[in-house]
Chain A
Amino acid sequence: MKIAFASGKGGTGKTTVSLNLALALSDVQLFDCDVEEPNCNLFLGFELEKVEDVICSVPVIDPEKCSLCRRCSDFCRYNALAALPTKVLVFPSLCHGCGGCTLLCPEEAIRESHRFLGLIEKAKEGSSPEFYRGLLNIGETMVSAVIKKLQKHIDDRKTAIIDAPPGTACPVIASIEDMDYCVLVTESTPFGFHDLKLAIDVVRALKIPFGVIINRYGLGGSKVEEYCKTEGISVLLKIPNDRMIAELYSRGIPFIREMPEWNEKFLCMFEAIKSQLAGGKEART
Chain B
Amino acid sequence: MKICITASGEGLDSEVDSRLGRCSYFVIYDTETKLMESISNVSAAVSGGAGIKAAETIANAGVNVLLTGSVGPNAFSIFSEVGIDVQVGVKGTVREAIRQYEAGELESISSPNNVPHSGMKKGSGMGRGKSRGR
Contact = CB atoms under 8 A, between A and B. Distances in A.
Interface of A: 9-12, 73, 77-80, 82-87, 89, 91, 94, 165-171, 191, 198
B52 A79 contact: yes
A78 B78 contact: no
A78 B81 contact: no
Contacts of A12: 133
Contacts of A77: 46
B128 A171 contact: yes
B78 A84 contact: yes
B49 interface: yes
Interface in B70-89: 74, 77-78, 81-82
B32 to A, nearest CB: 20
Interface stretch (B5-13, B55-63, B91-99, B102-110): B55-63
Given A10-B133, A84-B81, A79 B49 contact: yes
Contact of A84 (B48, B56, B74, B130): B56
Nearest to A95: B49
30 contacts: A9-B133, A10-B129, A10-B132, A11-B133, A12-B133, A77-B46, A78-B48, A78-B49, A79-B48, A79-B52, A79-B53, A82-B55, A83-B56, A84-B56, A84-B78, A84-B82, A85-B62, A87-B81, A89-B81, A94-B48, A94-B74, A165-B129, A166-B129, A166-B132, A167-B127, A167-B129, A167-B130, A169-B128, A169-B129, A198-B127
Contacts, number: 73
Given A73-B56, A84-B56, A166-B132, 20 more contacts: A9-B131, A10-B132, A11-B132, A12-B133, A77-B46, A78-B47, A78-B48, A80-B52, A82-B55, A82-B56, A83-B56, A84-B60, A84-B78, A85-B82, A91-B52, A91-B74, A94-B48, A169-B126, A191-B131, A198-B127
Report whether over half of chain A's contact residues are helix, strand or loop; otherwise say mixed: loop
Report whether over half of chain B's contact residues are helix, strand or loop; otherwise say mixed: loop
B34 interface: no
Contacts of B60: 83-85
Interface residues of B, number: 27
A91 B62 CA distance: 22
Contact of B59 (A9, A84, A165, A169): A84
A171 B126 CA distance: 10
B68 interface: no
Contacts of B132: 10-11, 166
A9 B56 CA distance: 38
Contacts of A87: 81
A91 B134 contact: no
B43 interface: yes
B49 A80 contact: yes
Contacts of B55: 82
Nearest 5 A/B pairs, CB to CB = A79-B49, A10-B132, A167-B129, A166-B129, A11-B133
Contacts of B130: 167
Contacts of A78: 47-49
B27 interface: no
Contacts of A85: 59-60, 62, 82
B28 interface: no
A191 B133 contact: yes
A170 B129 CA distance: 11
